[in-house]
Chain A
Amino acid sequence: MKSSTKLFIASRHLRSRAFQTFSVVAVVAFSVGLAVALFLVSQGLQLGLVHAVEPFELIVGAKGSPYQLLLNTVFLQDAPIGNIGWEDYAELSDDVRVGSAVPLGFGDSYRGYPIIGTVSSLLDVRVRPSDPPWLRITQGRWFEEGRFEAVLGAQAAARSGLRLGDGFRTSHGIVAGDEHSEEYRVVGIAETVQGPWDRAIFVPLEILQSVHEHEHEGEHESESESEGEGKEVTTVLVHPASYADAYRLAVSYQNDSGKQLIFPAQTAIRLFALIGRGEAFLSIVVYAVEACALLTTLLVLYWSGAARSRERMLLRVLGLPFKTLVFISWLEGTIALSTGAFLGELLGRAGAHAAFSLLGEATAIQPTVPLTLQECLAPLVLLSVGSLSTLAVAWRDARNSEEPPR
């Protein structure tokens, strides 16, 4: 018998039992979609976090939770732990173990977009020495120190409603708080960094400091203008002079009661491991759902096969060989399983992209996951196990059809 005829018979059987076929396809698609979506979200999140952390080699900030320091500085989430003195930054800058140090000030926002006070040396940060600068200006220019000027991160530019030349006032705190009276003017827009800092609005650190001093310590305004005295920074991004210097610096901060130094990559891995515990539980749930899907599929195929015993007997009487009979039954099950697995893969991808979109909206983390064998593992395993089980059911059905019809 021609292959096209076998396919024709199998597909006609599937069409004639549309409800059973739909049940198998839907159950398989749901379970595969769930597994794929979970895998993609998990992998995408991990890759997104790793990508977001890449530019930050060391971070020095106030003593407290390293996770909070990481979340605040790298992911621009959560409130800052507190500030450290300008002299601490100055000390780091002068340290021979430090290649470069970039001070950062947090605490203000504009419509939910975090304000980062910084200096021009931020533009010198590179992920690898051979790479172009991590943060680049795509429109306008970088702000001038000492002026109320601002540069928008890519997402802030796209979604905050601000454009080049616009003026805006910032609020105290991450959520809308008291509005500061000073107005910044947008002078530049940064190219996307594919990470949380796309949500940032960069302003001169000394201006940010002066605004805060003016608001909270107005009486000391004149004093604060003296070089660094009384000023604070939230964190310092540190590029160590060498790999060994990074560890020497870490050791020197171990016993510091007011400050801490973290390796963001390591802290992110630990943070992800914490998240991973929940993910492991979810994986078990997904495997259970897959097992249920497989069982449902086999039951549907079993019942469907039992209902067609007369047809198989007729085909056998017509002279259809045993192995062709098995093949056609197997083909039916495998077509249904493959369709379900394929749709599940699409559903999983769609679900993951929806989750990524929501995540990107809220955090600007931009997870991207290329198609990998690991991602296809759930559909492939289900398809393989299902296909083998279908073969067993088909074999059994064909054997049962050896009882001749009356």
Chain B
Amino acid sequence: MGLSNPLLEIHGLRKEYMQPGGPVQALYLDFLEARAGDAIAVTGPSGSGKTTLLHLLAALVRPSQGSIRFDGRDLPAAAYSARWRALSVGYVFQEMNLLPDFSLLENLLIAAEISGVPRAFDRSLSLLCRLGIEDLRYRRPAKLSLGEQQRAAVARAVLHAPPLLLADEPTASLDAENAGIVMNLLLELAAESKSLLLVATHDEAVKKRFPRVVELTKNIEKTGQRGNLP
């Protein structure tokens, strides 16, 4: 790994949101470099910008300042962000990851079609089998436990073997047992597909499972104030 080129390079990344009282800085990250297959825990207190960082990496929002380079190129502009996400990003949220009107299998098949996954049905079914939820494939999310929903969300996120796998507090709504299962799956599947895994968490137990940790600090000062370096 050490000899390969970095997959992700971040320099002077800043994100501000406009508020009635003026722009508020949500994130400042001076530098980050990561390679394919790396697993990184992004930690820090609430408001430190963990979720914002993941949104920026998924091209859901644009940075106010600084650059994000992925695979040697600047992150695509917003016009291409949908395609970028479909091909390159897998995303797991804290909860409510699944489309409520569709069965678990349909959720995976829709995601697979958006990403253009070949042999989507077989791939989806084999993932569900591996995650031990194949018997639940025709159930809608409302009929699943939170743990089962999160496992399905992991399956959907890794379905297209994305180079960048992002998870935002994926275990925050789960009990310890289910949190362990979901984290095992995330780490295993990311390693198999050589995805760069970034998990935002404030859970010490989760943090300990990562060889590398990026610590963000809270910074709610107005623009012009510098946030903490990781």
Q: Give the contacts of A287-326 with B (CB-CB under 8 A).
A: 310-311, 314-322
A5-B113, A12-B102, A404-B60 known; A319 vs B96 contact (CB < 8 Å): no
Task: Decide if A322 touches B110 in the complex (CB within 8 Å).
Answer: no
Task: Decide if A311 touches B115 in the complex (CB within 8 Å).
Answer: no
- Stretch from B6-14, B84-92, B184-192 that touches the partner: B84-92
Task: Decide if B101 touches A321 in the complex (CB within 8 Å).
Answer: no
A12-B102, A311-B99 known; A319 vs B113 contact (CB < 8 Å): no
**Interface check A165, CB cutoff 8 A:** no
| Chain A positions 331 through 365: 1 when the CB is less than 8 Å from some CB of chain B, otherwise 0 | 00000000000000000000000000000000000
**Interface check B93, CB cutoff 8 A:** yes
**Interface check A216, CB cutoff 8 A:** no
**Interface check B218, CB cutoff 8 A:** no
Q: Which of B61, B111, B113, B156 contacts A404 (CB 8 A)?
A: B61
A175 partner residues in chain B, CB cutoff 8 A = none
Task: Decide if B114 touches A318 in the complex (CB within 8 Å).
Answer: yes
Of the listed residues B86, B94, B98, B156, the one surrounded by the most CB atoms of chain A closer than 10 A to its CB is B86
A406-B51, A406-B93 known; A318 vs B85 contact (CB < 8 Å): yes
Task: Decide if A16 touches B85 in the complex (CB within 8 Å).
Answer: no
Q: Give the contacts of B108-149 with A (CB-CB under 8 A).
A: 110-111, 113-115
Of the listed residues A317, A321, A406, the one surrounded by the most CB atoms of chain B closer than 10 A to its CB is A317
> How close is A209's CB to chain B, nearest CB, in angstroms?
80
A12 partner residues in chain B, CB cutoff 8 A = 101-102
User: Which partner residue on chain A sits nearest B112 by CB separation?
Assistant: A318
Q: How many A-B residue pairs have CB under 8 A?
A: 63
Q: Interface residue tally of chain B, by bracket?
A: 20 to 34
> How close is A312's CB to chain B, nearest CB, in angstroms?
10
**Interface check B181, CB cutoff 8 A:** no
* Dominant secondary structure at the A interface: helix
Q: Interface residue tally of chain A, by bracket?
A: 20 to 34
Q: Which of A5, A15, A316 contacts B110 (CB 8 A)?
A: A5
User: Which partner residue on chain A sits nearest B58 by CB separation?
Assistant: A317
C-alpha spacing A318/B97, complex, angstroms? 10
| Chain A positions 95 through 125: 1 when the CB is less than 8 Å from some CB of chain B, otherwise 0 | 0000000000000000000000000000000
Q: Give the contacts of B44-89 with A (CB-CB under 8 A).
A: 51, 55, 58, 60-61, 82-87, 89
A9-B110, A404-B55, A404-B60 known; A315 vs B89 contact (CB < 8 Å): no
| Chain A positions 124 through 150: 1 when the CB is less than 8 Å from some CB of chain B, otherwise 0 | 000000000000000000000000000
A5-B110, A317-B85 known; A406 vs B91 contact (CB < 8 Å): no
B58 partner residues in chain A, CB cutoff 8 A = 317, 404
A231 partner residues in chain B, CB cutoff 8 A = none
Task: Decide if B113 touches A2 in the complex (CB within 8 Å).
Answer: yes
User: Which partner residue on chain B sits nearest A320 by CB separation?
Assistant: B114
Of the listed residues A12, A16, A406, the one surrounded by the most CB atoms of chain B closer than 10 A to its CB is A406
Binding site for A on B (CB under 8 A): 51, 55, 58, 60-61, 82-87, 89, 91, 93-94, 96-102, 110-111, 113-115, 156, 168
Further contacts, 12 of them, CB under 8 A, given A1-B113, A2-B113, A404-B58 = A5-B113, A12-B101, A15-B101, A311-B100, A311-B101, A316-B85, A317-B58, A318-B91, A318-B111, A318-B115, A320-B86, A322-B82
Can you give 11 contacting A-B residue pairs, CB < 8 Å?
Answer: A16-B100, A311-B99, A315-B99, A316-B82, A316-B85, A318-B115, A319-B114, A319-B115, A321-B82, A404-B61, A406-B94
